[in-house]
Amino acid sequence: MIDVLRLLDALGIEYTRRGSQLRARCPHPDHEDLNPSWTIVADEGGRHGFHHCFACQWGGGPVALVAAVLGLEPKDARAWLEDGDYAVTKLELELDVRERPAVAGLGVPPEVQFIPLERWPKAAREYLERRGFGAATVDRWGLGVVSATEKTQLRGRIFIPVLDDAGEFRTYQARAFGKAATRYLTPTAGPPAIFGCQYWPAPVERQVVVVPEGPFDALAVDAATGLPVGSLLGSDPQPWQLLRLATFRVVVVLTDPDAAGRKAATALQAALARWTRVVLHALPAGRDPAQVYEDDPVELRAMLQFVGGLPGDGHRVVVSAGPGAGAEAVAGCARGE
Residues 72-91 close enough to bind Zn ion by CB under 5 A: none
Q: Is 162 helix (H, G, I), strand (E, B) or coil?
A: strand
Interface pick for Zn ion out of 2, 8, 40, 56 (rule CB under 5 A): 56
Packing angle of the helix pair 74-83, 62-70 (nearest 10 deg): 100
Residues 8-27 close enough to bind Zn ion by CB under 5 A: 26
Interface segment toward Zn ion; rule CB under 5 A; list 31-39, 122-130, 147-155, 166-174:
31-39
Interface pick for Zn ion out of 41, 53, 124, 303 (rule CB under 5 A): 53
Strands of the sheet containing 250-254, edge to edge, are: 208-212, 250-254, 277-280
* CA–CA separation, 248 and 10 (whole Å): 42
Q: Is 31 in the site for Zn ion (CB under 5 A)?
A: yes
Q: Do β-strands 208-212 and 250-254 pair in parallel, antiparallel, or remain unpaired?
A: parallel
Q: Is 115 in the site for Zn ion (CB under 5 A)?
A: no
Q: Is 330 in the site for Zn ion (CB under 5 A)?
A: no
From the CB of 59, what's the least distance to Zn ion, in Å?
A: 9
**Radius of gyration for the chain, computed over Cα atoms and rounded to the nearest angstrom:** 20
Q: Is 124 in the site for Zn ion (CB under 5 A)?
A: no
* CA–CA separation, 110 and 94 (whole Å): 25
From the CB of 115, what's the least distance to Zn ion, in Å?
A: 21
From the CB of 67, what's the least distance to Zn ion, in Å?
A: 15
Q: Is 225 helix (H, G, I), strand (E, B) or coil?
A: helix
Beta carbons of 95 and 199 less than 8 angstroms apart: no
Taking the least distance from each CB to Zn ion, the nearer of 61 and 121 is: 61
Q: Which residues bind Zn ion (CB under 5 A)?
A: 26, 28, 31, 53, 55-56, 58
